[in-house]
Structure 1
Amino acid sequence: MTEPSELQLSEAPPGGLTRQGSLWGDAWRELRRKPRFVISAAIILVVLLMAVVPSLFTSVDPNFADLDHSRALPSGDAWFGYDLQGRNLFARTVYGTRASLIVGVTSALLTVLIGSVIGIVAGYYGKWLDSLLSRFGDIFAGMPFVLGAIVILTTLNAPTSNPSQTRIIVQVVLSIAVLSWPVAMRIMRSATLVAKQLDYVKAARGLGASPFRIIFRHLLPNTLAPVMVYATIAVGAFIGAEATLAFLGIGLRPPVVSWGVMISDSSNYVRTVPHMLLFPAAFVTITVLAFVMLGDAVRDALDPKSR
């Protein structure tokens, strides 16, 4: 006759995969009924298309300048008008989506990767290692974001330097991730502290499973949900951060075309040529709002208490 404890262990789903699959399935069914999710997903899909295939939206070269059209108002030929150098603002807004989205998405992925690794290690091992990693995270969390970014980016680039487009994007992504990972670390650490007290994790530890197997087979699948919600919201926040850094003159810079660069170019002409600022700023605002709405919808769907 099988012992009750052995029966329970044999019937328990390894790593809680059955329960996790049900959680994601229920969340998807819940999301499809939410207008907030549908609207935000539609906006993000359009933004992704603009970033991946900008030629679907415009055939105009975003860097083509015609001084005869300098500061021209929006019209049928140029829906968003022209900037100071006579460049088509609609074309620049469409093509600027790619750089802004690359910075937002890669910064969020890198932030979540760094924070999740440190957070799950701190939460699982605890004791002195948890205290050490938590205090290390507090150091970075205590840095003002703008001031920290100014220090990092001005240190990497002298004012007279002329770095390549790829190097500028990489530096901006790294600076955002370095200053933002403690939030993801705290979320993952809290989720790990809860998950490691569950019965199947204790059973795996009692059966002699290695820490590596416990972390990646049992803990990680059950701690991803809150981190994914944060990552979704962080994409929007980091797109706004890119625009902020470019406006201050320490982020992306010409010849890179991004929403932040366009906002920076319009900073001295807001009163005389307001449409130079209006349209790229509107795209930043709408995109950030869409990602925040998507994150809120995903959070509500993954939280059983909100149903």
Structure 2
Amino acid sequence: MPSNATQGDGHFVADVEETPVGAVDSFDESSKVRTTWSDAWESMRSRPMFWISAVLILFVVIVAAFPQLFSQTDPARGCLLPDSNGAPEAGHPFGFTRQGCDVYARVIFGARASLTVGLLATILVTVVGTVLGAIAGYYGGWFDSILSRVGDIFFAIPTVLGAIVLMSVLPTRDPLTVALVLSLFAWPQIARIMRGAVLSAKNADYVQASTALGVSRLQILIRHVVPNAINPVIVVATTSLGTLIVAEATLSFLGIGLPTSIMSWGNDIGQARTSVQTAPMVLFYPAAALSVTVLSFLLMGDVVRDALDPKARARR
């Protein structure tokens, strides 16, 4: 027992100088604040699948943005009938199509149209679905009822089937038109997910506190509810990008998507089906490029989903 301690009824009380209460109550002000996104980044960067999918996506984006870096052959003017279904040779590693076009050049330059349609459709679907779902979930009432019924109608129509019917009667078939048609039938999924997330978030304590402080409902929705409910939408949008790229390829394969004057993987797959028995590799290369791209986005979506799901992080 310290010599200067106070004794009484069997209790010993140490002096204040010997009890550094300030050290117990102190905290490190320099430590960084942990957020959902910082935790998600820590989770994602520790997984090899994240880096594999990220490298593949980055490579596809660079190819689509700068195809001249990977092929100096003009696929639109380099088609010669004497090269029809020709074997690979120097400068043409993938051989030639039935029309004598360089397969490698068409795969490289076809990435732009396929990726552009997928990105445009994903952006449109995400924006429209997020706005409508947030408004319906937060305000409710007649708008929520109408949106739910309209969403049920579009849910009953498969995206590709609806796009086939609509594209068959439209006079134009440029990338923007295809993206608009695909987004017209794909937005209900995002809207329903956003609505459910907003319904869960709008009763949180921070929303009640903001309401008590006199913050308007619109400001609460934009500043607090949407940022805290957007995580599942981001996950679905990541995986939807690959799905919409496949949808564009399906429409082009059927001849009602992008016109043949626009190079895309779907068009190349559709044109190569007549040469499957004689030159199967003409079909293989654009199909492989499409598959790798879609798989990369799906893998990235799985990684993002696990990182933004607190239960998934707790299981690991």
Whether these two folds match at TM > 0.5 is yes
- 1:71 aligns to 2:73 (yes or no): no
The correspondence of residues 131-280 of structure 1 with structure 2, limited to 5 A, is 131-157=145-171, 163=172, 168-280=174-286
Task: Name the amino acid aligned to 1:145.
Answer: T
| 1:28 and 1:301 in contact (8 A); partners too | yes
For residue 123 of structure 1, the aligned residue among 137, 157, 167 is 137
Separation in 1 of the partners of 2:188 and 2:293?
Answer: 24
C-alpha distance in structure 2 between counterparts of 1:208 and 1:155, whole Å: 52
Q: Distance in 2 between matches of 1:134 and 1:211?
A: 22
Question: Larger C-alpha radius of gyration, 1 or 2?
Answer: 2
Cα drift, residue 254 of structure 1: 1.6
Q: Does 1:42 align with 2:48?
A: no
Cα distance in 2, alignment partners of residues 128 and 171 from structure 1 = 31
| Counterpart selection for 1:84 from 92, 95, 98 | 98
Which amino acid in the other structure matches residue 38 of structure 1?
W
Q: Which runs of 5+ in 2 are unaligned?
A: 1-31
TM-score by length of 1: 0.88
The structure whose residues are more often helix, as a share, is 1
Match of 1:6 in 2: none
What is the TM-score of this pair, normalised by structure 2? 0.86
RMSD: 1.4
1:165-220 residue CA offsets vs partner (Å, 9 max, x unmatched):
xx511111011000000000011011101110110111112322222101111111
Greater relative contact order: 1 or 2 (C-alpha under 8 angstroms, separation 6 or more)?
Answer: 1
Structure 1 unaligned regions, length at least 5: 1-17, 158-162
Contact 1:73 1:275 in 2 (8 A): no
- Amino acid of the residue matched to residue 98 of structure 1? R
> In structure 2, how many angstroms separate the alpha carbons of the residues matched to 1:276 and 1:179?
32
Cα contact 1:103–1:173 (8 A) shared by 2: yes
Alignment partner, residue 11 of structure 1: none
The runs of at least 4 aligned residues of structure 1 exceeding 3 Å deviation read: none
Superposed counterparts of 1:86-125, under 5 Å: 86-125=100-139
CA distance, structure 1, for counterparts of residue 235 and residue 65 of structure 2: 24
| Paired amino acid for 1:273 | A
Matches of 1:56 and 1:49 in 2, distance apart?
9
Which residue in the other structure is 1:23 paired with?
36
Question: Match for 1:55: what amino acid?
Answer: Q
Question: C-alpha distance in 2, partners of 1:205/1:173?
Answer: 39
Aligned equivalents of 2:160 and 2:66: distance in 1?
32
| Structure 1, 108-117 or 268-277: larger mean CA deviation | 268-277
CA separation in 2, counterparts of 1:251 and 1:138?
26
Could you tell me how far apart the structure 1 residues matched to 2:93 and 2:238 are?
31
Secondary structure, counterpart of 2:35 in structure 1: helix
2:304 alignment partner, SS class: helix
Is 1:51 the counterpart of 2:97? The answer is: no
How far, CA to CA, are the matches of 1:58 and 1:175 in structure 2?
Answer: 32
Residue identity over aligned pairs, in percent, reads 47
Deviation digits for residues 36-66 of structure 1 (CA, Å, limit 9, x no counterpart): 1100000001101100111111111111211
Alignment of 1:7-22 (within 5 A): 22=35
